[in-house]
Every structure is written in C-alpha cells, then in structure tokens.
Chains A and B, each alone.
Chain A
Amino acid sequence: MKFEAIVKDLIEEFQTSSSATMSDGPSGRSTDALVATGTELVMQVVAQVAESVERVRAGSDTSFAPGPEAAEKPAPDRSTSEIEALVRRVVNQTRGLASQDRSDLVRQLARPDLLLSDRGRASQSADTVRGRVEL
C-alpha cells in the first residue's frame, strides 16, 4: 500500500469513527478509541516509511525507476534525518490530539490543513461558548 493511501485510510478511519460516535450518542466510542485507531494507523505509516527507506538504501526500489548512475550512489543521509523529523512530528501531533477534547478532535479531523499546521485550538484561558441557538 502506498503512503498516500495509508494517510487517506487514516483520515477516513477517523471520520468513520467520529460519525459512528455521533450516531451512537454519548455512549459511543471514546476519544481514547479514536486516538488508539489513529495511532495504530500512524504506526503503519511509520513502518511503511521505514520499509521504503530500507528499499531505497538497498537500491531495490523500482517504483522510483532510478537510472544506472543512481543505483551506484548510496542513499543520502539527509533523507533519513528528514524521515526521522517527519516521524517525530507525527508522534507529537498524535500526542497533541490525545490531549484535546473530543469536539476539537472531531472538528480538526475535518480540516487536515489545520491538523498539520497545529492551529485551530483555543487556549485554556479563552472565552468559550458552546451551545445551541434557535434562529
């Protein structure tokens, strides 16, 4: 499975879980279950990335179709550090998600742009209003 497909699965799984939670009512799956599902999928992503790195290092990855001169060169160390940084970022994001309340979590999952930029979370001292109004 390709990297993009795994990430897509991750988002779909989150959305499915959150919609199932809403239809089940308050007794549905908890935030912990959502985060556990997400974490499991993130681990798959990490495993996939690690596997790709190994393939590139071994020079057996044909998906990139390297030329003969590329096969002779060792994989640069830069890619390894970039992937480590990516993995660290994913882990931090997962921890951040786990510390949020459930409504923010569900809302953020609908906006992957905000999820990656770590924005859209109200501070603890914020003036908050949560309620329903009939217009």
Chain B
Amino acid sequence: MTTEVVRAAEGVVRHESFTVGAEPPRVFVHIGADPVVVELVEGSHQAEVHVALDSTIDGTGHYGRFVRAVREAALGADADSEEGLRCHLLSSTEITYSSFDRQLVVRSPQRGAVRFGTVAITVRVSAGSDLVVRGDVVTLDTVGIAGSVRVKACRGEIHVVSASSFDLRLRRGSALVDTVHGAVAADLRAASLNVADLGGDADVVSSSGAVALTLRPEGAVDLSLGTGGEVDLSGLPPVVESADGGPVWEQHGGGAAARRVSVTSGSGDVRLSRGGL
C-alpha cells in the first residue's frame, strides 16, 4: 500500500473565534494526521481556530481505487476536484467551545484508517492554557507558554516551547520540549525525548527510544536510571550512589525536597545533564 501526498494550493480557509475571558481555556485537539500549531498569546481573551486544506492524499494500485471509492462516497460529484475536497474537509472539521467547562474542542474529520486529505489547524489561545492533543500522526508545534500539555500519538514530531507539565505517549518519532517547569511523564516505545530545561520530576519509560534530560540546577535530584543502552551522566556533577541499590529518597529521611528523575528503557540511551552551564 502506497500513498501520494500532494500539498494543497492556497484557497478558502475557515476561521472561528470565541470570547473566552481572562481565564485560560482547556484545549482538546483530536486529529488523524493533520499538522497542528498552537499559539499561546499573553493577555488574549479570545480563542481562535484557523483551518486550511493542507494536503490531498491519493493511493496507488488497488489501494488507490479503494481510496477513490471512499472519497466518491463522501464527496459525490465533487470527488475529483480539490475545491470539493477543501469544502468537505473544512466544513466537517468540528470546532466547538463550551463556556460551561471552558473547553475548546477541535476534531479533524479524517481520523480513521482511510484518509484522502489533511487540514492544517492553527489554534490561538491565551497563555497558560492546558492542551491535549491526540491522533495517529501528530505534528505539533506550540509557541508561547502553555499550562499542562498532554500528547498521545502513534507517530509524531512534537515541539513544545514551554509547559507547566508534560505528559507524552508516543510510539515513534521525537519530542523536543524547551522548558518544563513541572513534571514530565512519558511512555515512548521507539520515540525519543529531549527536554532542554526540566524543573520538576521525571518518570520516563521507553523501549528503544533515547531520552535526554537537562536538569535545571536547583537543589538535589534523586536518580533512578536503568537501560540496556548507555547511561551518560558526563554533564552532571558526581552522583552519590545509594548503598544497597534501593531508592535514594528513602535513605535521606524521605527526601521531600529532592526532585526525582526515573528513566527506564529497554535499549535506549539515557543522557542527563545539568542546565545553565
């Protein structure tokens, strides 16, 4: 099965805007393989969603005929025109805002196994908004300061500038987070994770994905690292290893003040370093 992805020409776009007030809303984005950009703007009282046709997808051989049949069933007479596809995808993208639970929901229409087009989604909300993005293939780029960020995807390329906490479930791909002020939790499989400035705890599990964490230089950190790959602590001051291999935080009177960083990997390399050097 092969697919051909053709970038769409510029054309009509869809734009929705909601007044959300001073308190940052929660943003939930559910996609198939659509690229998502989230811009977090200081002092904004609006939530805006911008949707444009990103690409058309066609198949070759038997799969191509199957995709065209599905497309004809969905679009009817407009199946062969890009404008027909654009109209279908933009109008069937679900964009809702509930002032009751302060949640903005964006769902792209092509979340199933068969896709014949993707839309480019741009969400603009106030800084500090919590963000949840899930999908098959997540290409996410956030700009600005977010609240908690949660991403769940089969594949993905993720870049988050700043978040209060970060929760990631990713099978393949990579994630780069510039700053996390709080905790990081991740289940990575083969995906890699790089956090350039980690201010809180970390609990990371991977199968073969590499993990790189740069720890903010604030106080003590208890480490619990295990991997079949390599552990690189060359960027850290000397580690005082626990005497019996047990958890360090129990040997230091509970260690309430120390951060905890736990990374367990099957074969991925683990690299920890100290920030601000």
Asked whether, in the complex, the Cβ of B220 is within 8 Å of the Cβ of A22, the reply is no
Do B219 and A134 touch (CB < 8 A)?
yes
Q: Say if the beta carbon of A130 comes within 8 Å of chain B.
A: yes
Please state if B264 and A134 are interface contacts (CB–CB under 8 Å): no
Known A-B contacts A120-B264, A125-B228; A101 and B240 likewise in contact (beta carbons under 8 Å): no
**Considering the complex, which residues of chain B in the window 206-260 have a beta carbon less than 8 Å from any beta carbon of chain A?**
207, 215-231, 233, 236-242, 245-255, 258
Taking the nearest CB of chain A, how far is it from the CB of B219, in angstroms? Answer: 7
Cβ-defined contact, A103 with B223, below 8 A? no
Which B residues lie within 8 Å of A117 (CB)? 187
Do B231 and A129 touch (CB < 8 A)?
A: yes
Expressed in whole angstroms, the minimum distance between the Cβ of B20 and any Cβ of chain A is 31
**CB neighbours of A133 from chain B (8 A):** 220-221, 223, 236-240
Which of A6-14, A52-60, A81-89, A107-115 touches B? A107-115
Contact A22 B250 (CB under 8 A): yes
Report B's interface with A, CB cutoff 8 A. Answer: 185, 187, 203, 205, 207, 215-231, 233, 236-242, 245-255, 258, 262, 264-266, 274
Asked if A79 is at the interface (CB within 8 A of a chain B CB), the reply is no
A17 to chain B, nearest CB (A): 14
Given the complex, which residues of B lie within 8 Å of A128, measured CB to CB? 225-227, 231, 245
15 additional contacts, CB 8 Å, given A103-B247, A129-B241, A130-B245?
A21-B250, A102-B247, A106-B247, A110-B203, A114-B205, A119-B187, A126-B226, A126-B228, A129-B231, A129-B239, A130-B248, A132-B255, A132-B258, A134-B237, A135-B236
Cβ–Cβ contact B240 & A129, under 8 A: no
Whether a CB of chain B sits under 8 angstroms from the CB of A72 is no
Chain A residues in 8 Å Cβ range of B203: 107, 110-111
A26 within 8 A of B: yes
What chain B residues lie within 8 Å of A101 (beta carbons)? 245-246
Per-position 1/0 for A53-91, Cβ under 8 A of B: 000000000000000000000000000000000000000
Contact between B264 and A132, CB atoms less than 8 A apart: no
Total contacting residues, chain A, CB less than 8 A: 31
Note all chain B residues with C-beta closer than 8 A to A107.
203, 224, 262
In the complex where A130-B241, A130-B247 touch, is A135 in contact with B219 (Cβ < 8 A)? yes
Q: In the bound complex, what is the Cα–Cα distance between A26 and B224 (angstroms)?
A: 18
